[in-house]
Amino acid sequence: MIYIHIPFCKSFCTYCGFYSELCSGDGSQRVQNFVDALCDEIRSRRGEPGFSALPDTLYIGGGTPSVLPLEALRRILDELGRRAWEEFTVEVNPDDVTPSYAAELRSLGVTRVSMGVQSFDDRVLQWMNRRHDTAQTLRAFRFLREAGFDNISVDLIFGVPQMSDSSWEDSVRQALVLHPEHISAYQLSVEEGSALHDMIAAGRLTEADDEQCRRQYEFLYSALRDAGYVHYEISNFALPGREAVHNSAYWSRRPYVGLGPGAHSYDGALHRSWNTEMDFESAKSGGRLWTLESETLTEEDIRVETIMLGLRRSCGLPATWLESHCDPAVLSRLLSTGQLEQLAAPASKPLIRIPERHLFTSDAIIRRLV
């Protein structure tokens, strides 16, 4: 499992606090330096467990990978070694997708495209400082289909302060008209370093309240369930058999290698590592453009992480594991109040999960367990 982080964006979204660099992606020296450093990192880390770990997937995310020139992407893939990935995902912005770009992604072996739609309301998109509008989303989706992509995921965001319930419901319905194989929907969060954080701190904006967010989340999973989608993780829905292979492996704590600035890696056991952000000044004086840092996980770290990731999924966790790693009294209370439920499964391997009606308060349930 390999993740590659492309840190470049043409503009910053209002809500985004993730590490990224402003860049047009037009072949500038900054992009060339990044690709050189990334290829060096691929060569130096090729022997790590994640390179050969199953599932054999590749995910290129960002930032905005679709701003990267295709020749740069081709060079990165050549360095990795071309192969038939079980799943190969690239994130794109709708306004970057043209018929020729979609066809080129197919020729490079991409099997799955994740498109940052976020909303089908142009006023909401403008507030988000997104570069696309609804018309561009519809065209991009059509171009991807015409290029032969039969595995497309779209991202949506709910809980936007000035987005009405009717606007959100219309966005969900428009997404369903496209009938993508996968939909990811996230509640807007206030990230430090984002323009949204600054607006709220200055009193220029108030966050959406819990009731609005709950209503919109409940409409989301009800509408998608009625349309035949499987709610397999708190924020993720798929047509049967189209669950994201790469992301599902993260939630199972399998080994993966993260390449590029800001990317994280895990060896599947006790060690996690991450890359720093790019330091162009250091690189000018002969240093690395980014460096690798690491930590050793404790048994408690692993316990907490297993609970947090496992209870995000509809399959939950083995009851015997939870019983041996959580306070029995707390576990019993959560089961008796319906905040946890035991799945109908063979008696020898019962599973416990958070029922869908309580997923909106999953953070509070998980906190009580850990």
Whole-prediction pTM value?
0.94
Ordered domains of the chain (ranges, CATH): 2-250 (3.20.20.70), 298-370 (1.10.10)
Residue 118 pairs in a beta bridge with 156
User: In whole angstroms, how large is the CA radius of gyration of the chain?
Assistant: 21
How far apart (Å, rounded) are the C-alpha atoms in residues 235 and 229?
Answer: 12
How far apart (Å, rounded) are the C-alpha atoms in residues 142 and 155?
Answer: 16
Q: What is the CB neighbour count within 10 angstroms for residue 202?
A: 8
Per-residue pLDDT of the chain (370 residues; tens, 9 = 90+): 999 999 998 888 888 877 888 886 565 888 999 999 999 999 999 988 888 888 999 999 999 999 999 999 999 999 999 888 999 999 999 999 999 999 999 999 999 999 999 999 999 999 989 999 999 999 999 999 999 999 999 999 999 998 999 999 999 999 999 999 999 999 998 888 888 888 888 988 889 999 999 999 999 999 999 999 999 999 999 999 999 999 999 999 999 999 999 999 999 999 999 999 999 888 888 889 999 999 999 999 999 999 999 999 999 999 999 999 999 999 999 999 999 999 876 656 899 999 999 999 999 999 999 9
How far apart (Å, rounded) are the C-alpha atoms in residues 8 and 34?
Answer: 10
Tokens of 8: 């470049």
For 97-111, b/e burial (b = at least 16 CB within 10 A) is beeebbeebeeeebb
